[in-house]
Each structure stands twice: as C-alpha cells, then as structure tokens.
Structure 1
Amino acid sequence: MLLMMAEVLEFTHVAEALPESSFWGFLGFHQSHVPWTGCSLHDLIQPSFTFLVGVALPYSMASRASRGHSQTYLWLRTLRRALVLILLGIFLRSMGRNQTNFTFEDTLTQIGLGYPFLYALGLRSERSTWTALGVILVGYWALFAFHPLPGADFDWSLTGVAADWEHNLGGFAAHWNKNTNAAWAFDRWFLNLFPREKPFLFNGGGYATLSFIPTLGTMILGLVAGRWLRAAPSSSWLMRRLAIAAAGLFAVAILLHLTGINPIVKRIWTPAWTLFSGAWCFVLFALFYFVVDVQKTKRAFFPLIVVGMNSIAAYILAHTVVGFIDESFRINISPQYDLLFGEPYKTLISGFVILAVQWLILYWMYRKKLFIRI
C-alpha cells in the first residue's frame, strides 16, 4: 500500500529530467508498469494486495466461527463485502467523469468479483483448493488459446494498438496480445451493456474484466499461505514450505513464458503471471515473516503497520485527496513550493508532502483506533 501511495513521487519524471542518471532510471522503471510482458516492482503491488486477501481469510473465518455465526450469516456477509468492493471500485473510477464509469478491471472490483468463490474454497480442503487453482488457470489459458487470432482484414483501429507495435508477441503467444484477445472480445460485449457516453472499444492499458478469474488464482495462493501460517508447527517448517512453493511457481511460470505456451503479462493476468507473481508473493511473505516474526523486529515496521492496518482507507486516500493536498499547499504556502530543489526534483517535493499528509491522516486514525473494514 505504501508503494501505491508513493506513486505521487513520480520517479519517472525525475528520470526523464535526468536521462543520464541510471539511478533515477532504475527507480523510474520500478515505479511504473511494464508495457506488456515482464515485471517491475510496481507490477507486484496489486498481486501482493490480492494475495494478502487470501492470507487473511482463514483467520477471518476462524474468528467468525468462534463467535457461533451460522453459514447463512457468513455467506451474506461475504456477498455484502464483495458487492461493496465492486461498487467502491466503480465509484473511484467514476470520479471526475460525467457519468458512472462502469469498469471492472480496478483492484477492488477484481477482488470483489472473485471473493465469494474464494470464500467457498475456504470451506474446502487444501487438495480441493489446489485442484480449483489448476482448473482456473488451465481453463483461462484455453479460453485465450482457442480465441481466433486477427486475420489479414482485421481492423486494428478497434484496438488502440498498431499491428506492428513493438510489444506484440508472435507465434502461439500472439493469443495473449493487447486488445486482440478473448478478454478484450468479452469486454466489447459486456461493458457495452452498461450506459456509456460512447461505445466501449478497448481499454488503453489492455486491462480486462475477466482478469478477475486468474486474480482469484492469486487469492487462492494467499489462502494456501494463510492456512500454512495458522497451522505451522514451527517457523522453519513454514519457511521451508514457502520457499518450495516459490521455487516451483517460478520454474513453471518461466518455462511457460520461454516456450511461448503462455507469456507473463500482468495487464491481462495470464496464468503464467498468476504463477510468477504468486512466487514473488511467497518470497516477500517469507521475507517479512522472517524479519518481523522470527527476528522480532516489529518496531522498525511501525510506519508500514500504520498504513497496513487501514489499507482500504489508504487506497481511498491515494485515489481522492492527492490533488486537494497539493493545491492546498500551492494556495497557502507557495504556488511553486515544489521547486525548492529545482525543476527535475519537483515531483519528489510535492510527492513527499502529499505522502506525509496521507500518512499523518492514517496515523491519526491508528491512534484513534479508527479502522475501516468492509
């Protein structure tokens, strides 16, 4: 969540202003999404957030069960939570528009669409969970693999992508190219069922509604990790399981990518991306578990705890008050307060100010024990 909020620092602006600096170029790359295949640190934000939804579920279910809540009550609560996430995602995507922007590729809507299925799997055995993951990923792969490729008379103006775009894939992997795939075809039908200012043709970033299906796969991996965490007889047992899972997922994902069977593409959440990003989630989960729980260094992570305890509030702040904070400083401090260290670094100054104010709001909520839960 802190990495997402830190987008306001706009390292890419500094990198463009200082093109000779490899340091800022490196930071700029990892604070932006890759154009299509591959991965940056920024690309791991959404899967990490999604993974943790799965990690938290076994604890949530155990807590509710200990209070004697019926399955009917728990299912109604699950469906309510899913609906709120979907509607909140649509609301945030509609800000600044002339009418409701019905779109379902946002992080919150993607989680909301998959959450009831995740809860259902939370009631099943671990073997059933792994089986469901396999069915989801293979089925989603088949949906793309059997979708026809663009023909010689294909109208590329409908996709927002040129036929010779440098990131287009060739051969069998072309089934997962931007805005010519099965998920794009689905959205051409589905999103036009809703009222719109003009017909939906394509998503500029290539994102798609159906990505919630493999995103559910990421949540399932988190569910497995959460079960292991609750049942771990020792820290070494858990660390070993997390390491083996990460190594296996990395191996399969990279093999799928290199052979062209399925490329690693975050924007359409390919099955290979589910496995690749899931492997990174296991690595990061193991790293933080070791440092915080095993080495007992929780105090050093207090700034992250403040953000993490109110992740929904942090997400909303990052999508709503950025402009307000910046404009307030320009009005009350100086119209050019961000030029303190010169033009190349202006986004670092304004971004730091915005990030600091957001964190202080979350800190105040933490001190007052105001935690937003859905």
Structure 2
Amino acid sequence: MADIKHNDSDHRLEVAETPAPSSENPHDNNNKGKTKKKRVASVDVFRGLTVALMILVDDAGGEWPMIGHAPWNGCNLADFVMPFFLFIVGIAIALALKRIPDRCNATKKVILRTLKLIFWGLLLQGGFSHAPDKLSYGVDMKLIRWCGILQRIALAYFIVGLLEIATQGAQPKELPPGRLSIYKLYFLHWVLGGCVLIVYMAVLYGTYVPSWEFKVQNTESADYGKILTVACDVRGKLDPPCNAVGYVDRQVLGINHMYLHPAWKRSKACTEKSPYEGPFKKDAPSWCWAPFEPEGILSSISAILSTIIGVHFGHVLIQMKDHSSRLRHWIIMGVTLVVLGIILHFTDAIPLNKQLYTFSYVCVTSGAAALVFSFFYITVDILKLRYLFLPLEWIGKNAMFVYVMAAEGIFAGFINGWYYDDPHNTLVYWIQKHIFIGVWNSRRVGILLYVIFAEILFWAIVSGILHWLGIYWKL
C-alpha cells in the first residue's frame, strides 16, 4: 500500500543524502563530508510485515479470535494492521516527495494515484470480487460498499500528500538546533493534525444520534427482510448502536452501502460463543443484525492522524543525519504515544476502539508502529541483518500485488473456481485438509500453519522471484 514514489520510473525509495558521522567510522578519513544515497530497507520490511499480518489475521482470525479484530473496545493483533499501513504510507510520502521539481506535476500524480486506490478499493471490497469460497461474481449497485481499506488509504494519502507538496521548500536545508526544531520545521503538518482531531472529537461527542431503522440484509438470517428499530436518542455515546461514526455513515453513505459483517456481531451481547462467531442469542439486541462501516467517513478522518505521524517519521529520517538522533526521537515518541493511549483507555476517558478509530487507538497503534519500525531500522539498516527479513522485504516491494492476490483472496478464488464434482473439492481445500489439518489433527493449528506456509511464505517466494526479475506492481 505504501509503494508511493515521486518518480514513476524508479521503484526505489531513497533517503536524502547523508554524511557518515566520523564517530561511527573514525578510521575512514575518505568518507568525511561525503554524501551517500541508499535505500532504507526497513521501510520495505515494515510494509511486508503489515501485508503478512493482514493475511494472517484475515485467514486465521476466525479460528484464533485473539488475533482477529476486537468485537468492539480493545485492541487485538488485527487492529494494528490498518494503522501500520497508514503509518508506512506516511513515511513513504515523505521520502517520495522530498524533492519536487514541478509542483503541478507532483499534484497530478498524487491525484491520479488517489483515484487508482479508490478504483481498486471499490473493485476488491465494493462487492464485485467474490470471496475465495464462492463462485459468483458481480454486485448489486443498490448494495455496493463505497468504503474500504484502499479508500481510507487513498483519503489519507491525498490529504497528506497535497500538504507535503504545498509546504515543500518552506523548510531550510539544514535542521536548526533544538529538540523541538523538527516539529517547528513542519508546523503546518501538526496544525492539520490538530484540526483533524478537533473536528473528529467535536462530531464524535457533539452529534445527536436519533433512533433508526434498518432492513436485515443477511440472507442467512431467519429475520432476512425484516425492518428492525434501534433506540438511541442520545449524544456522545461510543457504544455499537448509537455512536456518531455510524450515524454519519448512515446519513451520507446510506445504510445499504455499509459493511454487513461488523466485528461487533461476535460481541457478548450478540452471541454466547463470543469472541467466536456464532448464532445470535434469542434476546440479542436488534443492532446485532445491523450493518456498520469500519472504514467509514468520520473514522477515516481520524485515520489521517496515523499518516501524519508516519510522515513525521519520514521527516526525521530525512532531516536528522545520524542513527542515534533518529532512534532517540522515534523511540521517545513511540513510547509516549503508547503510554498516553493506554492511560486514556484504562481511565475510561477514551476507549481503544478500531471501529471508531478513537484518539487513544491512534496513540497506541501509532506508537507501536514507531517502535516496530525502530526495531527494523536497527536490525536491518544499522546492524545489516537484512537477510533475516528477506521474505518480508520481498513482500514489501510488491505489497500491492500480494495484497490483491493473497489478502483479498483473488488467487485462492481463481483456484477454487476449478473443482471436481463438488465445489468444495478443490486444490485449496485438499491442501488444507490433508497436508495441514489432517496431519496435526486440529483445525485451528492446521489453518494457522496453512496460512503461514501456504499463503504468507508462498507469496514471499513469489515476490522474491518477481524481485529477482525486476517486476513490481506499482500504482
């Protein structure tokens, strides 16, 4: 997702030219004062990790709920994926737009790439593309889903990318002295972040949410076609049925264009099998059957903050010239964000919630992304242990390709389209049953190993071959 570059003819993301500090190599007098361009491999590794995590939590999360999305409040492994995407998109924006010879041309490229992301998002998650275990293809335009993962990334990329272009050249070539100089240098980015947060919080807590009705669209439900009512008439609530995030989406997108399988259906209020999926309780509240858009309008506005934090890390990478300064800044900021988010959550001030993309959620996930990226920067770019993470780096260099083919299940769907006698008698199901589930005599363990080896590792190898051939799918 973060394969964002200014020069379409160059698939490499390069950092600014940086002189090697004499303290790091005191015996090399020839390198003093010289500059050197190199690829920051940790960017690709981090991006590859994010795509791999998405495959893992999407395809194994049903058997392992602790890694799937939290039903409502809380933060499981799957809830880190989207913020990690947005974070690395921010870093890539800073690197790709560090030099802009033509603002008009750069703006056109940002707009074009945004439109491409929206197109692929609608194609993959709007309802056109069938699931891997289904053979139908097409979408009812009355029910098309307008929002999705790539659409959210497109919004954040568009806003932050245009800001980066607009403010390019306003900064001095050298970072002024002072601990806060990097923040002052990109002051307008933080002004935008503050405005985004104020608008989000004002709408989230200030919007009156009336009672509402919906028609059950789940064809597998006994209540299919029924009109159910959800009682609200409140302001500032953050529960599943009566929050402002859902209200804005219902008013703007239309309730028929929202996601039909929100994570809250696995909550204790809806099913006794929580956190697993299961039949609803007889006394389950009506909202358990309702749709909800996890990548909706208001939550996507809040998600811009994750990209702003990511672009700040990219600015640090460009402006600060030595490893220790970069790492000190990143780690302090990462720890601060995580601690702040945890305090907000456990004091009941602002709960961690991916569906609402709350401020505490932004803090914890962005802080975690900062620490993980710092770890990769140390091991890959400083200690030169790049070979340990080559599979992730290969995936990261072809992130869009792996996302489409694996995370969205396009390749598995194609393979499942060829079956013998019965639609479930396919190569994919045979491999799952006889090589993984049957050998371990456990569906949970078998599915987990299948996802790790037959999906993630398989696509890492494919990506490695494509890298060797010099083939990259870029938007």
Global fold match (TM > 0.5): yes
Alignment equivalent of 2:455, drawn from 326, 347, 354: 354
1:186 matched to 2:236: no
Counterpart in the other structure of 1:38: 74
Larger Rg: 2
More displaced stretch, 119-128 vs 186-195: 186-195
Query: Between Structure 1 and Structure 2, how many residues are aligned?
Result: 344
What is the TM-score when the length of structure 2 is the normalising length?
0.65
Looking at structure 1, the residues matched to 337 and 257 of structure 2 have their Cα atoms a distance apart, in angstroms, of 41
1:159-203 CA distances to partner (integer Å, 9 max, x unpaired)?
999989xxxxxx99x62222422221121122239989x9xx953
What is the TM-score when the length of structure 1 is the normalising length?
0.81
Mapping of residues 105-184 of structure 1, within 5 Å: 105-123=147-165, 124=167, 125-148=185-208, 154=211, 175-184=237-246
Say which SS state the counterpart of residue 370 (structure 1) adopts: coil
Counterpart in the other structure of 1:367: 468
Return closer, same or farther for 1:326/1:7 CA change in 2, 3 Å cut-off. Answer: farther
Looking at structure 2, the residues matched to 291 and 121 of structure 1 have their Cα atoms a distance apart, in angstroms, of 32
Looking at structure 2, the residues matched to 120 and 215 of structure 1 have their Cα atoms a distance apart, in angstroms, of 16
Counterpart in the other structure of 2:106: 74
Alignment check: 8 A CA contact 1:141 1:262 kept: no
Mapping of residues 138-287 of structure 1, within 5 Å: 138-148=198-208, 154=211, 175-192=237-254, 202-204=290-292, 206-287=294-375
1:73-124 CA distances to partner (integer Å, 9 max, x unpaired)?
1111101111111111111012134335643442210011222210132143
Looking at structure 2, the residues matched to 162 and 279 of structure 1 have their Cα atoms a distance apart, in angstroms, of 39
Looking at structure 2, the residues matched to 286 and 88 of structure 1 have their Cα atoms a distance apart, in angstroms, of 31
Structure in which a larger fraction of residues adopt helix:
1
1:342 matched to 2:374: no
Looking at structure 1, the residues matched to 346 and 216 of structure 2 have their Cα atoms a distance apart, in angstroms, of 26
In the TM superposition, what is the alpha-carbon distance from 1:361 to its structure 2 partner? Answer: 2.7
In the TM superposition, what is the alpha-carbon distance from 1:205 to its structure 2 partner? Answer: 6.3
Say which SS state the counterpart of residue 98 (structure 2) adopts: helix
In the TM superposition, what is the alpha-carbon distance from 1:158 to its structure 2 partner? Answer: 7.5
In the TM superposition, what is the alpha-carbon distance from 1:317 to its structure 2 partner? Answer: 1.0
AA aligned opposite 2:301: I
Alignment check: 8 A CA contact 1:110 1:212 kept: yes
Return closer, same or farther for 1:8/1:106 CA change in 2, 3 Å cut-off. Answer: closer
Alignment equivalent of 1:293, drawn from 381, 388, 404: 381
Alignment check: 8 A CA contact 2:200 2:298 kept: no
Alignment check: 8 A CA contact 1:246 1:283 kept: yes
AA aligned opposite 1:296: K
1:321 matched to 2:416: no
Consecutive unaligned residues in structure 1, runs of 5 or more: 14-27, 165-170
AA aligned opposite 2:155: L
Alignment check: 8 A CA contact 2:146 2:257 kept: no
In the TM superposition, what is the alpha-carbon distance from 1:237 to its structure 2 partner? Answer: 0.7
Looking at structure 2, the residues matched to 251 and 177 of structure 1 have their Cα atoms a distance apart, in angstroms, of 24
Say which SS state the counterpart of residue 355 (structure 2) adopts: coil
Counterpart in the other structure of 2:54: 4
More displaced stretch, 286-295 vs 340-349: 340-349
Looking at structure 1, the residues matched to 395 and 91 of structure 2 have their Cα atoms a distance apart, in angstroms, of 18
Say which SS state the counterpart of residue 354 (structure 2) adopts: coil
Alignment check: 8 A CA contact 1:104 1:209 kept: no
Looking at structure 2, the residues matched to 212 and 145 of structure 1 have their Cα atoms a distance apart, in angstroms, of 16
Looking at structure 2, the residues matched to 99 and 156 of structure 1 have their Cα atoms a distance apart, in angstroms, of 21
Alignment check: 8 A CA contact 2:230 2:241 kept: no
Identity of aligned residues (%): 21
AA aligned opposite 2:469: K
Looking at structure 2, the residues matched to 341 and 59 of structure 1 have their Cα atoms a distance apart, in angstroms, of 46
Counterpart in the other structure of 2:175: none
Looking at structure 1, the residues matched to 456 and 290 of structure 2 have their Cα atoms a distance apart, in angstroms, of 33
In the TM superposition, what is the alpha-carbon distance from 1:156 to its structure 2 partner? Answer: 7.4
Return closer, same or farther for 1:143/1:315 CA change in 2, 3 Å cut-off. Answer: same
Alignment check: 8 A CA contact 1:90 1:103 kept: yes
Alignment check: 8 A CA contact 1:325 1:354 kept: no
Return closer, same or farther for 1:76/1:107 CA change in 2, 3 Å cut-off. Answer: same
Return closer, same or farther for 1:350/1:239 CA change in 2, 3 Å cut-off. Answer: closer
1:59-80 CA distances to partner (integer Å, 9 max, x unpaired)?
11135x2xx3x21111111011
Say which SS state the counterpart of residue 97 (structure 2) adopts: helix
Say which SS state the counterpart of residue 111 (structure 1) adopts: helix
Alignment check: 8 A CA contact 1:159 1:179 kept: no
Looking at structure 2, the residues matched to 193 and 155 of structure 1 have their Cα atoms a distance apart, in angstroms, of 10
Return closer, same or farther for 1:11/1:77 CA change in 2, 3 Å cut-off. Answer: closer
Counterpart in the other structure of 2:140: 99
Alignment check: 8 A CA contact 2:395 2:459 kept: no
Consecutive unaligned residues in structure 2, runs of 5 or more: 1-50, 131-137, 168-184, 218-227, 261-288, 420-424
In the TM superposition, what is the alpha-carbon distance from 1:43 to its structure 2 partner? Answer: 1.0
Alignment check: 8 A CA contact 2:342 2:360 kept: yes
Alignment equivalent of 1:86, drawn from 105, 108, 118: 118
Return closer, same or farther for 1:162/1:33 CA change in 2, 3 Å cut-off. Answer: farther
Alignment check: 8 A CA contact 1:37 1:265 kept: yes
